[in-house]
Amino acid sequence: MRNGLGSDGDKHHIVNLSTMGNHTSVAATTVQAVFVAPCACEIIDISLAVTTAVTAHSTNHWTLAFVNQTGDGNIMSDNFDTDSDNSGNGGRSLTADTLTSLADDGAGTNYLQNVVLAKGDVIVLTLTKASSATALAYPQLVVHWRP
């Protein structure tokens, strides 16, 4: 179940992405490991919440790419972005204080792939800032998974 509690077997791993910089926001392109599979498991969804809205924009935007560093595979078939020119998994704004699925576009398209992980697999997130994109204020990433 996306953007909800899911079933009893679902687990949630929360990452404070602002620890990559000044503890309040992510303002520049950066890379961070965000999940280490504690056992063989499946990723159900990946969501993000920020405290300040980020409006979709054709020039000033963010791209978020998730890769299984251990298995060398993309976790999404199309990276999430806030590029208003994107018709794939992006072109969406981030609403303040709202959990946004980065893998489900809300129109029924699920961009997850390579979601079955072995124990010890590491998911790495690359946040790429384009031009003068709004900083991601107090960003909280939630990885929804199940054994």
Domains of the chain: 14-146 (2.60.120)
Residue 10: burial class (beta carbons within 10 Å; 0-12, 13-18, 19+):
middle
Q: For the whole model, what pTM was predicted?
A: 0.89
* 4 CB-near residues (< 8 Å, 6+ apart): none
- Collapsed DSSP state (helix, strand, coil) of residue 20: helix
pLDDT tens-digit readout, 113-135: 999 999 999 999 999 999 999 99
- Collapsed DSSP state (helix, strand, coil) of residue 37: coil
Look at residue 2 in the predicted model and tell me its pLDDT: 47
The stretches in the chain having pLDDT less than 70 are 1-8, 19-23
Look at residue 8 in the predicted model and tell me its pLDDT: 64
Output the CA angle 80-83-88, nearest 5 degrees: 50
| Backbone dihedral angles phi then psi of residue 130, each to the nearest 5 degrees | -105, 125
